């Protein structure tokens, strides 16, 4: 149990190392959870202090790397220097395979215009046209998606004009995303741009209502990292659901076109897909529910909510039987690993939703989350959707087009009557997400857009047994003698979702914690109690 007053004091000490503007900016991004002060407010989704060594990524990463990139039947063409394409090429471990009905999988390829200095000086449109011509010659894909990197916006290449040219020249749908790396303040802007592009050009363009079967759903914000999506599919298929599309892990443009025929949308990652969840609701009347397939209890809740939404007694019974069978199989395994992990603590710093989603899973193996934070989440991901109307727009998020959906005359339909909706809403909060702060215990720390200095400082204060984060932090943490697990790419493991995934996760954590190597590493700050340097001395 963490002491609120002690933690507040520690946070003050850490922040006191900052001066002037930096202090002013950072103090509002860090809070100690204190339910007596609820609702607590945090500052998020704004510019990082220059030079502070943030853990954030760029807008292009959010658009190409996260949302558009995993769609396997389109060629995602990076218009930019080769590094941008290369580093966003499957390092996230968004798996894909050819499933029944799939005709294409371009994910094993990395497509880039490989911009050089001369292209930056004289313009890159010619090279972009040439790349598209080659792509059509070699692959003749059903669609092409152009994703911009920083130099493209700086020199003003007209990617929209090239997309129109490509469409006319080859008759292939070509969508251009103006997702230059510097647009917005993080990956988050890229999610929004990608959502907009898919909503305008892909979703709803399918004309095959026969895809719709009983209990048709879309899964939004599930990227099949380490095979998570496949485990979710296994569960939903055995319960009799039809998955029309997944945005976008192991997903395809072909399936996304018919997403508007679904009865219900399931939102796994709220941050990256809340835009389309809302647009689908506004345009087609399709409700969405927030699900979380990470963690046993969370998975059970998601499956129960889904069954409840459809309200079919047979489906509800089938769901309970399924849950019972799965639990019977995994519980002894989880208990075995829990014996190792019990009582340990964890700090989590991940993108925009997993620092929230994984907390339940850690709790189930006996581990308490003492610090959690997001790289690029917005206030609603911390505080809940009720704050959305109060979020102030700034110059950066004004940059990104904000679309609202108009009801589609032919396709708009409501599955639930008003009364039924209200009744269920009380139980499962349809179209709502409560965010991170409400699930955390008093005295734990929430940090938005953590930087290197703060990460090291909190490591020393909280001494977690595990730091769940990404590749940028991993080895620094290891050098501190602490286990670090990559919650983005799952290191080389997975799936962690659903019932079976929980066992894989528990196994991995237990294995990591008991690795003998920790006995051999003692970081300097643990060896001698040398006086701490001030930030000014470090800089």
Task: Provide, rounded to whole angstroms, the least separation between the CB of residue 62 and ligand CFM.
Answer: 6
Provide the b/e sequence for 462-477 (b: ≥16 CB within 10 Å). bebbbbbbbebbbebb
Write down the catalytic residue from 44, 46, 59, 61: 61
Q: Which stretch binds ligand CFM (CB under 6 A): 217-225, 259-267, 397-405, 416-424?
A: 217-225
Residue with smaller CB distance to ligand CFM, 17 or 192: 192
Contact residue for ligand CFM among 17, 26, 72, 92 (CB under 6 A): 92
Torsion angle in degrees (nearest 10) through CA of 476, 480, 486, 492: 100
CA gap 211, 455 in Å, rounded: 48
272 binds ligand CFM (CB under 6 A): yes
Q: Which of 12, 10, 38, 43 is nearest to 441 (CA)?
A: 38
Q: Give the single-character DSSP code of 27.
A: G
Q: Which two tokens stand for residue 264?
A: 């219900």
69 binds ligand CFM (CB under 6 A): no
223 binds ligand CFM (CB under 6 A): yes
Task: Provide, rounded to whole angstroms, the least separation between the CB of residue 490 and ligand CFM.
Answer: 9
Tell me whether residue 58 is one of the annotated catalytic residues: yes
Q: Which stretch binds ligand CFM (CB under 6 A): 79-87, 111-119, 141-149, 219-227?
A: 219-227
Tell me whether residue 61 is one of the annotated catalytic residues: yes
CA angle 518, 467, 365 (to 5 degrees): 90
Q: Which stretch binds ligand CFM (CB under 6 A): 124-132, 137-145, 201-209, 265-273?
A: 265-273
Provide the b/e sequence for 77-114 (b: ≥16 CB within 10 Å). bbbbbeebbeebbeebbbbbeeeeeeebebbeebbbbb
**Residue sitting closest to ligand CFM (CB):** 351
Contact residue for ligand CFM among 151, 206, 352, 512 (CB under 6 A): 352
Contact residue for ligand CFM among 30, 179, 244, 269 (CB under 6 A): 269
Write down the catalytic residue from 17, 29, 92, 257: 92
Residue with smaller CB distance to ligand CFM, 247 or 307: 247
Tell me whether residue 257 is one of the annotated catalytic residues: no
Question: CB–CB of 7/443 below 8 Å?
Answer: yes
Look at the block and give the residue holding tokens 């990956």: 187
CA distances in angstroms from 265 to 34, 209, 284, 376, 440, listed in the order given: 33, 17, 11, 24, 27
CA gap 326, 480 in Å, rounded: 38
Task: Provide, rounded to whole angstroms, the least separation between the CB of residue 363 and ligand CFM.
Answer: 18
Residue with smaller CB distance to ligand CFM, 83 or 209: 83
Task: Provide, rounded to whole angstroms, the least separation between the CB of residue 407 and ligand CFM.
Answer: 28
Contact residue for ligand CFM among 225, 370, 371, 440 (CB under 6 A): 225
Residue with smaller CB distance to ligand CFM, 239 or 388: 388
354 binds ligand CFM (CB under 6 A): yes
Q: Which of 82, 89, 84 is nearest to 117 (CA)?
A: 82
Three-state DSSP string of 454-492: HHHHHHHHHCCCEEEECHHHHHHHHHCCCEEEECCCCCC
Total residues interacting with ligand CFM, rule: CB under 6 A: 16
Sequence-distant (≥ 6) Cβ neighbours of residue 491 within 8 angstroms = 485, 508
Tell me whether residue 92 is one of the annotated catalytic residues: yes
Looking at residues 456 to 495 of the shown chain, list those that interact with ligand CFM (rule: CB under 6 A). Answer: 488
Write down the catalytic residue from 26, 29, 46, 58: 58
Contact residue for ligand CFM among 295, 351, 373, 481 (CB under 6 A): 351
CA gap 9, 40 in Å, rounded: 18
Write down the catalytic residue from 29, 56, 191, 270: 191
Residue with smaller CB distance to ligand CFM, 221 or 494: 221
- Whether residue 495 is preceded by a cis peptide bond, meaning omega within 30 degrees of 0, is yes
Cβ neighbours, 10 Å, residue 63: 33
59 binds ligand CFM (CB under 6 A): no
**Cα-to-chain-centroid distance, residue 318:** 30
Contact residue for ligand CFM among 18, 26, 54, 62 (CB under 6 A): 62
Task: Provide, rounded to whole angstroms, the least separation between the CB of residue 225 and ligand CFM.
Answer: 5
Q: Give the single-character DSSP code of 65.
A: I
Q: Which stretch binds ligand CFM (CB under 6 A): 156-164, 344-352, 393-401, 439-447?
A: 344-352
Residue with smaller CB distance to ligand CFM, 322 or 490: 490
512 binds ligand CFM (CB under 6 A): no
350 binds ligand CFM (CB under 6 A): yes
**Cα-to-chain-centroid distance, residue 221:** 7
Question: CB–CB of 44/381 below 8 Å?
Answer: yes
Q: Which two tokens stand for residue 336?
A: 């075995």
Task: Provide, rounded to whole angstroms, the least separation between the CB of residue 350 and ligand CFM.
Answer: 4
Q: What backbone torsions phi and psi does residue 448 show, to the nearest 5 degrees?
A: -95, 140
Binding pattern for the stretch 184-203 against ligand CFM, x by CB under 6 A and - elsewhere: ---x----------------
Question: CB–CB of 468/487 below 8 Å?
Answer: yes
Residue with smaller CB distance to ligand CFM, 72 or 271: 271
221 binds ligand CFM (CB under 6 A): yes
Residue with smaller CB distance to ligand CFM, 157 or 473: 473
Question: What is the binding site for ligand CFM (CB under 6 A)?
Answer: 62, 66, 92, 187, 221, 223, 225, 269, 271-272, 350-354, 488
Cite the active site residues. Answer: 58, 61, 92, 191
């Amino acid at each position: 149990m963490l002491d609120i007053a002690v933690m507040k004091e520690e946070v003050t000490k850490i922040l006191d190392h900052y001066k002037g503007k930096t202090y002013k900016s950072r103090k509002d991004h860090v809070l100690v959870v204190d339910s007596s002060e609820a609702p607590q407010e945090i500052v998020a989704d704004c510019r990082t202090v220059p030079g502070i060594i943030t853990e954030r990524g760029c807008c292009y990463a959010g658009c190409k790397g996260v949302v558009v990139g995993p769609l396997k039947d389109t060629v995602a063409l990076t218009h930019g220097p080769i590094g941008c394409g290369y580093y966003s090429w499957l390092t996230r471990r968004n798996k894909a395979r050819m499933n029944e009905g799939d005709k294409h999988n371009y994910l094993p390829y990395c497509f880039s215009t490989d911009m050089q200095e001369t292209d930056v000086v004289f313009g890159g449109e010619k090279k972009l046209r040439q790349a598209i011509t080659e792509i059509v010659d070699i692959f003749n894909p059903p669609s092409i998606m152009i994703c911009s990197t920083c130099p493209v916006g700086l020199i003003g290449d007209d990617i929209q004009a090239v997309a129109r040219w490509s469409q006319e020249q080859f008759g292939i749908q070509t969508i251009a995303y103006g997702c230059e790396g510097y647009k917005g303040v993080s990956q988050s802007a890229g999610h929004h741009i990608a959502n907009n592009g898919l909503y305008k050009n892909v979703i709803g363009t399918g004309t095959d209502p026969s895809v719709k079967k009983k209990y048709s759903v879309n899964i939004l914000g599930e990227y099949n990292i380490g095979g998570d999506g496949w485990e979710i599919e296994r569960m939903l298929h055995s319960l009799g659901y039809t998955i029309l599309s997944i945005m976008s892990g192991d997903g395809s443009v072909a399936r996304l076109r018919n997403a508007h025929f679904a009865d219900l949308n399931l939102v796994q990652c709220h941050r990256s897909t809340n835009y389309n969840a809302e647009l689908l609701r506004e345009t087609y009347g399709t409700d969405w529910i927030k699900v979380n397939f990470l963690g046993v209890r969370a998975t059970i809740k998601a499956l129960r909510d889904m069954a409840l939404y459809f309200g079919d007694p047979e489906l509800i019974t089938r769901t309970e039987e399924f849950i019972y069978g799965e639990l019977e199989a995994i519980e002894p395994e989880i208990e075995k690993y829990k014996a190792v992990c019990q009582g340990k603590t964890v700090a989590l710093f991940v993108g925009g939703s997993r620092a929230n989603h994984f907390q339940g899973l850690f709790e189930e193996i006996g581990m308490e989350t003492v610090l959690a934070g997001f790289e690029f989440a917005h206030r609603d991901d911390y505080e809940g959707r009720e704050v959305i109307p109060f979020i102030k727009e700034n110059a950066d998020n004004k940059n990104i087009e904000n679309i609202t959906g108009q009801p589609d005359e032919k396709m708009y339909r409501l599955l639930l009557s008003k009364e039924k909706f209200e009744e269920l809403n009380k139980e499962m909060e349809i179209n709502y997400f409560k965010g991170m702060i409400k699930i955390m215990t008093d005295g734990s720390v929430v940090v938005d857009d953590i930087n290197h200095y703060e990460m090291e400082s909190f490591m020393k204060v909280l001494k977690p047994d595990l730091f769940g984060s990404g590749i940028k932090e991993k080895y620094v943490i290891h050098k501190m003698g602490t286990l670090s697990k990559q919650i983005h790419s799952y290191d080389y493991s997975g799936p962690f979702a659903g019932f079976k995934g929980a066992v894989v996760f528990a196994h991995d954590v237990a294995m990591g914690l008991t690795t003998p190597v920790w006995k051999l590493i003692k970081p300097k700050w643990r060896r001698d109690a040398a006086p701490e340097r001030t930030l000014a001395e470090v800089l």
